Amino acid sequence: MAARRILIFGAGVIGSIYGGLLALGGSEVTLLARGRRLEELRRDGLRLQRTDVTGASMTSLLKPSVRVIDHLDAEEVYDYVFVCLRAEQVMSALPLLASNRSKTFVFMVNNARGYDLWEEVLGKGRVLPAFPGAGGEIREGVVCYGLTKKMVQPTVLGEIRGERSVRMKKLRKLLDGAGFATEIRRDMDAWQKTHLALVCPLACALYLDGGDNRTLARNTTVLTLAAKALKETLAFIRQSGIGIRPKRFGLIRFVPVWMIRAVLACLFDSRWAETFVLGHSLNARGEMEHLTQELLTLAEQRGFDLPVLRQLTPSRFGH
82 vs 148: CA distance, rounded Å: 19
pLDDT of the residue at 318: 42
Residue 83 near residue 109 (C-beta atoms within 8 A): yes
pLDDT of the residue at 151: 83
pLDDT of the residue at 274: 75
* Nearest partner of 1 among 20, 24, 18, 26, judged by Cα: 26
pLDDT of the residue at 314: 65
| Exposure b/e, 171-185, CB count within 10 A at least 16 = b | bbebbeebebbbbbb
Enter the DSSP assignment of 59.
S
Give the class (CATH, top level) of 5-186: alpha beta
pLDDT of the residue at 58: 74
116 vs 186: CA distance, rounded Å: 17
pLDDT of the residue at 278: 73
The H-assigned helical ranges of 25-147 are 35-44, 90-98, 116-122
CB atoms within 10 A of CB 294: 19
Is the pLDDT reported for residue 316 higher than 60? no
More confident residue, 274 or 30: 30
State pLDDT tens for residues 161-189.
999 999 999 999 999 999 999 999 999 99
> Going by DSSP bridges, is the β-strand pair 155-157/182-184 parallel, antiparallel, or unpaired?
parallel
146 vs 53: CA distance, rounded Å: 8
More confident residue, 259 or 54: 259
Is the pLDDT reported for residue 110 higher than 80? yes
pLDDT of the residue at 319: 40
More confident residue, 256 or 3: 256
pLDDT of the residue at 165: 96
**Where along the chain do its domains lie?**
5-186, 190-312
**At 53, is the pLDDT very low, low, confident or very high (cuts 50, 70, 90)?**
low
3-state secondary structure of 318: coil
State pLDDT tens for residues 239-297.
999 999 999 999 999 999 999 999 999 999 988 787 667 767 777 899 999 999 999 99
State pLDDT tens for residues 121-160.
999 999 999 999 998 889 999 999 989 888 888 999 999 9
What is the percentage of the chain residues whose pLDDT exceeds 70? Answer: 95
Is the pLDDT reported for residue 51 higher than 90? no
168 vs 125: CA distance, rounded Å: 12
116 vs 118: CA distance, rounded Å: 5
53 vs 48: CA distance, rounded Å: 16
pLDDT of the residue at 150: 86
Enter the DSSP assignment of 156.
E
The residue-averaged pLDDT of 213-218 equals 94
| Exposure b/e, 79-109, CB count within 10 A at least 16 = b | bbbbbbbbbbebeeebeebbebebebbbbbb
